[in-house]
Structure formats: C-alpha cells, structure tokens
Homo-oligomer: A and B are copies of this chain.
C-alpha cells in the first residue's frame, strides 16, 4: 500500500510499504498479536498538532521511520463505514476498570510504535475501537471524531451546564471545545484567536470568535487549547473566582499560572488528555445527531499532498482549523 512515511525532521515521503495483516497492530500488552484486529481502508485522516510536533522532530516517542496520523475514518473489509478510536487499552488495567481508560499507563495509540499510523491506505485496529457511521453522514466529517472526543472529554470535566466559557485558541481543539461546551449546556462561549485569517474563517460558528484583546472580564470556565506560558497567564487572570481552567494544550511544560491568585480565589486547574472509550462513543453520537454543529471547518487534500499540507500548517498559511487527507 501507499503510506506517508515520516523519515526525519520535516521529511515526509509517500512511498510503498507492506500492507498490514489483520492482527498486526499488536494488541496490549505489546508483543502479543491482536488476532481479532480488523483491516480498515482509510477514507479520511486528519492532521493533528501532535503529528506536526513529531514531523518537526520534537517527539522522542515517535522516532523515524514511522507512519503518523491517528484521526481516521474508513471502510472495513466487510463494507462497514466506521470511524476509529485510535487508543488501544488493556481492559484489565486498573484505570480501565474504573472507566478512566485514558489514564491507562499501558495505553497505545496508532502512529506511535508499536502501532503504525493512519496516513496510509490501510490500518489494522481492534474491532472494539470502531464506531459505525450512519449512511447519511460523511466519512470525512467522521474523521473529526478523535479530536472532538478530546474536546468532549475536556468539556465534560468542566461540568459546563449553565456556565460561561472562554476558549483560548482557534485550532481544531479550541473549536471543538467551544462546540462541546455549547452542546453540554454552556450558556455562552467566547473563543479568542490571534491569526486574522483563522479568525475570519470562524465567524459563522455558533460561538463568538474574537481577537484576544477583545475578550474581557471573567469566565466560569477557561479552556487553554494552546498551553504556553502566555495562554496560561491569560487563563489564570480571566477565570472567575471559584472557576475552572481546563488545560488541554501541550505547548510548553511549565510556567505561566498565577498560582497566588488561583489559591486565594480558589481556582481549579484540570489537566485533560485524550478521552475514555465512552467519551469517544458519546462524541460520535453527538456528532451524528448534529449537536456539534455543521463541522464545516475542514479542508480536504489528497494524501500525496500531505507534505505540502504540513509545510502550509507550519507556515500559518491554513485558515481552516483542520486539514483532512484522503488516501
């Protein structure tokens, strides 16, 4: 099959690789073949910030050569249209048994060894990771299930019913968080984004999208979908006394929070990562029922154009929060 292979920093090459075999994706624990895995012909796969991070050579967990990509939807060998939960967890892990599958310390994700990613024509996944897509719902939009599940999970941890929210960052995670907060009952969501082209692109969404200095005052919830010192400083300055920061960005590892204010004003900070298996299913249901909006904020390119897409994202030339590649 053809796959887009990461061969080193800023080097992506579309080339022939061996087809995966059913069960070749290695079920947990590593080394035991997952004989029940299903082959899926990929029809759409999103480019994530973590793919960009790896592409730049900044992720030691993703050494070259490697097939990146983990936001996939496609068709099984028996013709079912499915979207794919890329997190593979051991059901016997204590975290899994308490329902918090995202915390499993033995979790695997496609695009990280030993599991190859989805910038490819075919992937191999356990059957329980597949969610059927209704016949009237596009497979391209279905490929948004994974980033939206990250957002749905983050929003859920903030218990947004009846609350106001500020979302920092207009990438897919910021946009998905704003939509998830509204779907889960937030009264009003303001999203801030400094890139003028991205901001213009987001004007027709069901939340307010404004320049960063236009969002003033306090908010019950603040989602930091960027995760650098500056955005954390904004989050800890603009969260309401007694309010909550949902921190889903992985920009930098430390600094920025005004911990004195957070202590005196009883602010909660929740680091949020990935999603549970139930969150993934709930997100799919919300998406299929239209509760997450029109999902019209993507741009589609061919898998062969992947290297150019990465270069364009890196240069800030892409207005859409998400590029989908079609093998």
Contacts and interface: CB of A to CB of B under 8 A. Distances in A.
- Classify chain A: how many residues form its interface, as a range: 35 or more
Given A247-B263, A272-B263, A273-B266, A255 B255 contact: yes
A102 B266 contact: yes
A258 interface: yes
A249 interface: yes
Contact of A259 (B102, B103, B268, B271): B271
Contact of A272 (B250, B266, B272): B266
Counted per complex, copies of this chain come to 2
A161 to B, nearest CB: 14
Contacts of A34: none
A273 B265 CA distance: 7
Interface string A77-115: 000000000000000000100001011010000000000
Pick the most buried of A254, A260, A265: most chain B CB atoms within 10 A of its CB.
Answer: A254
A73 to B, nearest CB: 26
Nearest to A102: B266
A252 B271 CA distance: 21
A80 B260 CA distance: 38
A227 interface: yes
A227 B103 CA distance: 27
Interface of A: 95, 100, 102-103, 105, 227, 232, 241-242, 247-250, 252-273
19 contacts: A95-B241, A100-B266, A103-B242, A105-B241, A227-B259, A249-B263, A250-B260, A250-B263, A253-B258, A254-B258, A255-B255, A255-B259, A257-B257, A261-B271, A262-B271, A265-B271, A266-B271, A268-B271, A269-B270
